[in-house]
Homo-oligomer: A and B are copies of this chain.
Amino acid sequence: MSLLVVGSVAFDSVETPTARRDDVLGGSAVYFSYAASYFTGVRLVGVVGDDWPEEHTKFLQNRKVDTSGLQVIAGKKTFRWTGKYHANMNDRDTLEVHLNVFGEFDPVLPEDFQRSPFVFLANGSPGVQMKVLDQVRGPRLVVADTMDLWIRETRDELMALLQRIDGLVLNDSEAKLLTGEENLVKAGHRVREMGPRFVVVKKGEHGAMFFSEHETYVMPAYPTEDVVDPTGAGDSFAGGMMGYLAEKNNFDSSTLKEAMAYGTLVASFNVEDFSLDRMKGIERADLDRRLEEYRKMLSF
């Protein structure tokens, strides 16, 4: 089934303790789209400036990503983010943010995108995310991401958004910030009580937790020695998860769990190189192979 994603499209500059890359392809909707494309066709809605190279668009199109919702604003620049990772490769400092065209992003869904059964609202303000929902007709499953900025600065809008979505994906620190709960199990369920039917709390190198009314579980990250660049790990996790759900056209309890596993594994590949470079080099069969290793790792 078709999967719609609305979010950021960006140039990232990333510094790690051992290397750096400048102006590489990034953004939440880009990582998400590529990760989901192993499983299903993706409809991307985003905005770029006229500094955006056509090759990036072609690159996404070659992966079953429909880019007809990608607005190009003449005379303006694409969103740019610069970050630096600490030695532990888990914490990072944002050094520069130039929102550029993303600062005035007013998402417009092409007509054929409006009936998308699976919808993911990636990085963006709750106001922008709700504008997307206003344009979508009869979705089967709507999942959103959020971040500390929106929890701090647009809490009321975020609380309104939580009434309109089925699932929320957020980081451990964000779940604590949103609820004031230090215990992640309590925090996850408290977020769920704010509206969404299920909540996924991402813990970076420690994996992700799932919360629904009757289920609480944790899936560890796939252990890898080759963490080169964690940028986009959360978005590729969400892309793998939502892509699998859309492929199965199902989101019952067991399908959601398999989707959590696929999300975990797409993210585990993504962190093995800068930008989308590692994801470019793998196919669905690589994911399935790692899934079997992961399944074996978790059985005793």
* Chain A interface (Cβ < 8 Å from any Cβ of B): 17, 87-89, 182-186, 189, 203, 205-207, 209, 216-221, 223-225, 227, 254, 257-258, 260-261, 295, 297-300
Contacts and interface: CB of A to CB of B under 8 A. Distances in A.
Nearest to A259: B300
A189 B297 CA distance: 17
A218 B223 contact: yes
11 contacts: A17-B182, A183-B225, A185-B225, A203-B206, A207-B218, A207-B220, A209-B223, A216-B223, A220-B220, A260-B300, A261-B300
A184 B205 contact: yes
Contact of A219 (B89, B209, B220, B258): B220
A220 B225 CA distance: 18
Nearest to A222: B218
Contacts of A225: 183, 185-186, 189
Nearest to A291: B300
Nearest to A88: B182
A299 B261 CA distance: 10
A47 to B, nearest CB: 36
B218 A221 contact: yes
A247 to B, nearest CB: 16
Contacts of A205: 184
Q: Which 8 interchain pairs have the tightest Cβ spacing?
A: A206-B206, A298-B298, A257-B300, A218-B220, A217-B297, A185-B225, A220-B220, A185-B223
A254 B300 contact: yes
A227 B218 CA distance: 16
Contacts of A186: 225
A299 B299 contact: yes
B89 A182 contact: yes
Nearest to A206: B206
Contacts of A189: 225
Most buried by B among A189, A220, A297: A220
A46 B5 CA distance: 61
Contacts of A260: 300
Contacts of A224: 185
Contacts of A299: 295, 298-299
Contacts of A184: 205, 223
A300 B258 contact: yes
A216 B223 CA distance: 7
Nearest to A209: B223
A204 to B, nearest CB: 10
Nearest to A17: B182
Contacts of A258: 300
Contacts of A17: 182
A206 to B, nearest CB: 4
A231 B107 CA distance: 51
Nearest to A189: B225
A295 to B, nearest CB: 7
